[in-house]
Structure 1
Amino acid sequence: YSLGRTATRLADFEKGLRIIRDLLHDRGIRVAGGEERDAGTVFLKAGRRPVPVYISAEGPRTLRVAGRTCDGVILGTGFDLRVLQWAKDRISEGAAEADRGAAEIDVMPAGMICVDDDGEQARRRVRSRMANRAHHNFRFTYETVPEEERAGVKRFMENFDISKPIEERVDPKYVTDYLVERFTIAGTPEECAARVKRLEASGVKRLLLTPPNAISTETMRAWGERVMPLCR
């Protein structure tokens, strides 16, 4: 994404995932014979198995790959419940193609967090760091962006500079409220807990949460001490 290298073809990525999952689920993989070995099935003989295979996914094609091949998805599309349902639908399509049930696949939304007694201050502090997460969602499509938010998201993309340090890649003035709401859980402890509870009610069991680099320790402490007790 940020190294300027060519991405792996999705078909090759899926093939690799199948090999990894077969090894980690004790099914083994078939290997061809050669001058120094016979053909046969190779098994992994290290560690405790089975090991669940998760990938991070955002776009429709990769989400379908996850549905066909993975045990879980780290969902980079944010915390918007409408987008969460869109992603689940794409995962379900992939699962159906492989005769799997969508319920077999764990969905773990990922995004940024910030906690402050002043909710607006929390949302200001998280703006620069979450911009990178939003940017790589929209490099190929605006499919999941509501029409009324599309102009603002396009301005954000046009003013993003991937060559800069991760928290300096865009002027915060281009990060719209929609992007903050979608890609972060930021606000007062009560506001953050309410977002978590809404996600739980939609079927989410796990979240992958990242604090801003500059305030990571205080954010994680506040989350553990002031948000999590409200979620129990």
Structure 2
Amino acid sequence: MTKFGFGVSLVCDDLEAFPGWVRTVDECGFDVIGLTDSPALYPETYVTGVIAAQNTSRVRFGPRVTNPLTRHPIVAAQAIGSLDVLSGGRALFGIGAGDSAAHTAAARPAKVADIEEYLLTVRGLLRGEPVTYRGSELRMFSEPRNVPIYVAAAGPKMLRMAGRVADGVIIGSGVIPEVIEHTLGFIREGAESVGRSLSDLDLWWLCGARVADSRAEAEEQMLSLSAALINAHGQITLGGKLIPTDVLEEAQYLVDHYDFDAHIKHGTAPNVELLRSLPKLREHASRRYVVGGTPDECVEQLKTAAEAGANQFWWTVSFPDKMEFVKKFSSEVISRLNPVATGS
């Protein structure tokens, strides 16, 4: 029987409510909590990390994701190492190219080689090893920590790199079978190039989820996230992302007109209206990135993804009724897929 894993990234738009949110996620049987790292848009990642450490007892947590552009590796290593100490070894470190964080810092997304160099530097620093970073010798004198490092990846180059050097991958390519199988091939190539296999990596699939009265209603409610994921794909290139030829023009239009000031904001936010104006892209993105509908529909969609090779899913929870979703998804979906784990 397939064992499913579930995580949530809580977009912190209410710092005072955050302690209760993370307690609820922990109590509802989720496995990981992602902390947003976009300094111009949301509260400081490592402040929310301290809150998570102090208000949970079981769940793992960490930035999903930071980037090499806005934090020096010593700053990042010390921050995540401190959270690991504070939480009794439950911290994880997610790193990516930099999406809204890079844009609002007037920076270009990091290149694959820069991300790999940053990852290896942070890992070495956490282990107490001397490292060379961009020509300078660095060392951290804290007690060594073994914090797993995850790479957020969607394109072939990043997926291969993650397969080579990461402890895990946060996969943003989508959760439909043809995409899952294609994506696993790139990670496998990277892993096997250094004598590893897929089983050596902790694989999580980034997408949106909504329990609703219908699949169509769930897709409508997740348009903001669907737009954000298409935009993230296009920050370097839309090539190699399995976007159908007849959809590419609309995808490029969205990337060119995406409003980072409204990143992952719901309701009538401009990015929602932008995606609504692009019908082919809207249909493609909703199908590709959203698990949603009635509990029965959610269960069947997740089982279909598992048959293709994906069994751990990490939702971005940015909409207003966050805890209503967490409780409902736990009681009506997770309990049916992992009945022993949730005590049912």
C-alpha distance 29-162 of structure 1, shift in aligned 2 (>3 A): same
C-alpha distance 31-69 of structure 1, shift in aligned 2 (>3 A): closer
C-alpha distance 16-151 of structure 1, shift in aligned 2 (>3 A): closer
What's the counterpart of residue 168 of structure 2?
72
Partner letter of residue 238 of structure 2?
A: T
RMSD after superposition: 2.7
Q: Structure 2 CA distance, aligned partners of 1:215 and 1:12? A: 37
Which of residues 143, 157, 165 in structure 2 aligns to 1:46? 143
What's the counterpart of residue 150 of structure 1?
248
Quick check: 138-147 or 56-65, which moved more?
138-147
Q: Structure 2 CA distance, aligned partners of 1:56 and 1:207? A: 13
C-alpha distance 7-155 of structure 1, shift in aligned 2 (>3 A): closer
8 Å CA contact 1:132–1:169 kept in 2: the answer is no
C-alpha distance 9-119 of structure 1, shift in aligned 2 (>3 A): closer
What is the deviation of 1:208?
0.6
Q: Structure 2 CA distance, aligned partners of 1:18 and 1:158? A: 33
Match of 1:207, SS state, is strand
Q: Structure 2 CA distance, aligned partners of 1:160 and 1:43? A: 39
Match of 1:112, SS state, is strand
Partner letter of residue 224 of structure 1?
A: S
Q: Structure 1 CA distance, aligned partners of 2:314 and 2:196? A: 25
What is the deviation of 1:135?
1.2
What is the deviation of 1:93?
1.7
What's the counterpart of residue 129 of structure 2?
29
Match of 1:196, SS state, is helix
What's the counterpart of residue 7 of structure 1?
109
Q: Deviations over 1:63-95 (max 9, x none)?
A: 111111011100011212212222211112212
Identity %: 24
8 Å CA contact 2:207–2:289 kept in 1: the answer is yes
Q: Structure 2 CA distance, aligned partners of 1:226 and 1:109? A: 20
Q: Structure 1 CA distance, aligned partners of 2:131 and 2:121? A: 11
Quick check: 62-71 or 222-231, which moved more?
222-231
TM-score, with length taken from structure 1: 0.81
What's the counterpart of residue 7 of structure 2?
none
What is the deviation of 1:220?
1.6
What's the counterpart of residue 161 of structure 1?
259
Number of residue equivalences? 222
8 Å CA contact 1:163–1:169 kept in 2: the answer is no
What's the counterpart of residue 293 of structure 2?
187
Q: Structure 2 CA distance, aligned partners of 1:7 and 1:136? A: 10
What's the counterpart of residue 119 of structure 2?
17
Larger-gyration structure (1/2): 1
Partner letter of residue 6 of structure 1?
A: R
* Structure 2: tracts of 5 or more residues without a match: 1-98, 339-344
Match of 1:214, SS state, is coil
Partner letter of residue 173 of structure 1?
A: S
What's the counterpart of residue 156 of structure 2?
60
What's the counterpart of residue 35 of structure 1?
none
What is the deviation of 1:151?
4.2
Match of 2:300, SS state, is helix
What's the counterpart of residue 179 of structure 2?
83
* Structure 1: tracts of 5 or more residues without a match: 33-38
Q: Structure 2 CA distance, aligned partners of 1:89 and 1:96? A: 10
Partner letter of residue 299 of structure 2?
A: A
Q: Structure 2 CA distance, aligned partners of 1:214 and 1:43? A: 40
8 Å CA contact 2:238–2:252 kept in 1: the answer is no
